[in-house]
Structure 1
């Protein structure tokens, strides 16, 4: 069994991201041998990152930060579901990443799902830059959702052409996870 974390990058109570993350986890779990769990950043209780040294030098001393590292380390890869805030990722997502030790994600596949009025392209570009020092392995395809076309009156209603995108991304993640397993 391959286990993937689906990280919801928004903590806003009225965010449309929760149904997207649940949809991603359901679709991911349709791939044989995959278990996908949603992790919401709101449940982590992370403070603003203010550790004495960067996580590349020492594990976080904050109990919530240490627990976040331990929890994510148990997965074989991650899918990050993020909205676009001001042409980038939400601050809470960047803060959560700031707490991670590089080894937690090293040699693991990362799938990206973005949503915005511009299909979530810009936050995914920034995530690639932010995670470039973690030795992650980004996979294609990505899932790009439009707030205009994939939501009806605020409800998530993905267009039919998205039906196979998550399973395709997850199959690529499984292959990458297996190929990189000996390096972890």
Structure 2
């Protein structure tokens, strides 16, 4: 069975990404078809990229990078839960992606975004980053506007549309993660 991480892509105080990631993880686990696990960037002490060699060489020198690499290597796919900050992804998520290369290669990626316009610009930025990291991003995505999916713009209350959008994302992600696993073995 493939292993998929639900990545909490913000560490900001008062972040909404943990609420959204908890929902994704609960729905995904109940659905089944893969082993799902939470991966909260707040639990990793990754300073701004401080490796002297390009990640594509895989010559990591710092223990925090080696630990991060071993963590990411365990997974076959990822659901990135991201806020939209200034029409893009939170810096902490970009930094975490930039640390590694081979550990991301030939793995599936799906996106659950949120923000004033559903976070769609952050998801589009992630698609570009995923492509460069040789990840296969699935077409289905979940976009959560503050106006419809967050009570008082703070408490996550998924709409029927959000609930319905998650299933195709999970279906596509599991299929692609399963298919891509054969490229890595």
TM-score by length of 2: 0.94
The answer on 1:117 being equivalent to 2:116 is yes
Q: How does 1:29-40 map to 2 (within 5 A)?
A: 29-40=29-40
1:58 is aligned to 58
After TM superposition, where is structure 1 displaced by more than 4 Å over at least 4 residues in a row?
Answer: none
Query: Displacement, 1:65?
Result: 1.5
Q: Is the 8 A contact 2:76 2:178 kept in 1?
A: no
1:16 is aligned to 16
List alignment gaps of at least 5 residues for structure 2.
none
Number of residue-to-residue matches in the alignment: 183
1:6 is aligned to 6
2:143 is aligned to 144
SS in structure 1 at match of 2:140 = coil
1:68 is aligned to 68
1:93 is aligned to 93
Q: Matches of 1:113 and 1:59 in 2, distance apart?
A: 32
Q: Matches of 2:147 and 2:59 in 1, distance apart?
A: 41
Query: Displacement, 1:174?
Result: 1.3
Q: Is the 8 A contact 1:26 1:36 kept in 2?
A: no
Query: RMSD of aligned C-alpha atoms?
Result: 1.2
SS in structure 1 at match of 2:49 = coil
Q: Deviations over 1:96-127 (max 9, x none)?
A: 11111x22121111001110001111111111
Q: Is the 8 A contact 1:60 1:99 kept in 2?
A: no
Alpha-carbon spacing, 1:63–1:76, altered in 2? closer, same or farther (3 Å): same
Query: Displacement, 1:130?
Result: 1.6
SS in structure 2 at match of 1:126 = helix
